[in-house]
Amino acid sequence: MEIHIVEDGATGAEVVADQFARTLREAGPRGAVLGLATGSSPVPAYTELIRRHREEGLSFAGSRAFLLDEYVGLPAGHPQSYHHFIRENFTSHVDIDDAAVVSPDGTAADPVAEAASYDRRLVEAGGVDLQILGIGSNGHIAFNEPGSSLASRTRVVGLTRSTIEDNSRYFASAADVPVRALSQGLGTILEARRIVLTATGAQKAEAVAQLAEGAISARWPATVLQLHPDVVVVVDEAAASRLELAEYYRYSRRLETENPLTPVA
């Protein structure tokens, strides 16, 4: 797990965008399979990617995207649906085919069957090349709340009171927030080939500390990422404030920059 402690959110957005650019280069003409998160955490990175597309020619042509989750009961056109959010904040501003941006159907007659179908579609697409994640103050990733199985698949989940309160800022009131969602499971997320998690603010500090340095536990779902071989965590100083090994992470990044490893001829 690479921990990048950055000065501010703008710098963090550049680091996250660098990971996207690398994945797109590696994918080449076939395009990458991108896993996209919603919420406030990834928006600065999406803004930076839009800028690079418009000003530097970064192309998403041929790529496909899968969303992490969707509220149960919200139609795709609802202003607070994640189907709408990702288009408004990212995909409609770059050159990715709208039909290639896929999300769970929150209005499916059988949400359980929809969850299983979505998991199959991820596999049929060849898996996710790069998954971006945020993290909740209680350690959830996607809508995998504390207590979620570390091997869980895409499924219907109930949202905790803290998550409903966190998300109520997007709705008229907490009473308007759906209480269930379709969410990729922790086991599903771990199948992505590369994962980038980004967080800012002191309210995320305990979750970030558990993610990087805590014991792997369903109490803090994000700790499952310690089992993944290619995870980049990008946090600002406030979100990093409870990391006991912060100086080591800073040293590691300086070493990587100043003395990069070079292949032996």
Bridge pairing between strands 69-71 and 130-133 = unpaired
Is 110 assigned a catalytic role? no
Closest CA to 68 of 235, 185, 170, 179: 185
Please name every residue paired with 74 in a beta bridge, in sequence order, or none if there are none: none
Is 145 assigned a catalytic role? yes
Angstrom distance (rounded) from CA 206 to CA 220? 10
Is 140 assigned a catalytic role? yes
Is 228 assigned a catalytic role? no
| Catalytic entry in 89, 138, 144, 167 | 138
Q: Residue 100 corresponds to which tokens in the numbers above?
A: 């290639």
Go through 200-237 and write b for each residue having 16 or more CB atoms within 10 A of its CB, e for each that does not. bbeebbbbbbbbbbbeeebebbbbbbeebeebbbbbbe
| Catalytic entry in 69, 105, 114, 236 | 69
| Catalytic entry in 4, 89, 119, 140 | 140
| Catalytic entry in 145, 166, 167, 236 | 145
140, 132 contact by CB (below 8 A): no
147, 127 contact by CB (below 8 A): no
Burial category of 67 from C-beta neighbours within 10 Å (exposed 0-12, middle 13-18, buried 19 and up)? buried
Report the catalytic residues: 69, 138, 140, 145
